[in-house]
Amino acid sequence: MTRPTTSAERALHELRELILAAELAPGARLGEVELAERLGVSRTPVREALTRLAAEGLVEITPNRGARVATWTVAELEGVFDLRLSLEPQLTGFAVPNAGERDVAELDDLAHRMLAVGTPGPEQDLDALVPLNRVFHDRLVALAGHPTLAAALAAAIHPPIVRRNFHAYDPESLRRSLAHHLEMVAALRARDPGWARAVMTAHICNARAVMVRAATAQAARAATSPHPQEEEAS
């Protein structure tokens, strides 16, 4: 029997997705009244959701100033990707001997679905790409069978980074990312851990270049703006 979803759980889920989809931008103020109206709940579930999102690293809560969507400096982003590079390629290599034919087929299906919705053009749907990408990477981590390393990766990468905003990708960087998923499947099918690790390393380096470039540009805009505008959560 499915447990009914509470208002707090619904608020948590919807706010998390709004932040991860960049509909609530980094630094945006998160007013409880505005969010309660937007989500159709009272302020109490919103307050609970903001507290939990702060624990996840998605929200920053400052006494007497309220809550804002968390922001990341260039140095913080580079540190997160360095940690990813030390952990995720290892886990991908470990996944190779554990991946059966059905696992490879499922990952191949995910990679092709990502290619279909993510390829630049009139049919592109970046919002549909995000959950597919999440499932693909989570599946590789699960197949690795190393819960300690998996826990370290989960603690290191934080949702705002691993569930990256594909809107920040230029067309060539996005094509590279999509091709990496297909190549990782090929490495799994060939039973080649070294190849799988190498592709995941390139995949993470590609993502790091995109996200650091976007963060650098955002920092430059903030530094040169004489009157920064605060984004309201309305």
On whether the CB atoms of residues 132 and 110 are closer than 8 A, the answer is yes
Per-residue pLDDT, 165? 65
Distance, in Å, from the CA atom of 194 to the CA atom of 199, rounded to the nearest integer, reads 9
Report which of 186, 164, 191 is spatially closest to residue 107, judged by C-alpha positions.
186
pTM above 0.85, yes or no: no
175 CB-side CA count, 13 A:
5
Instruction: Tell the residue number behind the tokens 């540009």, with chain if given.
Output: 217
* CA dihedral over 47, 53, 55, 59, signed as positive or negative: negative
Q: What are the CA-CA distances from residue 102 to residues 93, 134, 145, 195 (Å)? A: 18, 19, 17, 20
The pLDDT of residue 176 is: 97
**Residue 87 burial (CB < 10 Å; 0-12/13-18/19+)?**
buried
Dihedral through CA 134, CA 179, CA 206, CA 83, nearest 10? 40
Residue 87 in tokens: 């952990």
The residue written with tokens 């699960």 in the block is 142
| Amino acid in the structure at residue 18 | L
| Domains located in the chain, CATH noted | 7-71 (1.10.10.10), 74-219 (1.20.120.530)
Mean pLDDT in order along the chain per 10 residues (234 residues): 69 84 80 94 94 85 89 83 94 98 98 96 88 93 96 74 69 96 98 98 95 81 58 38
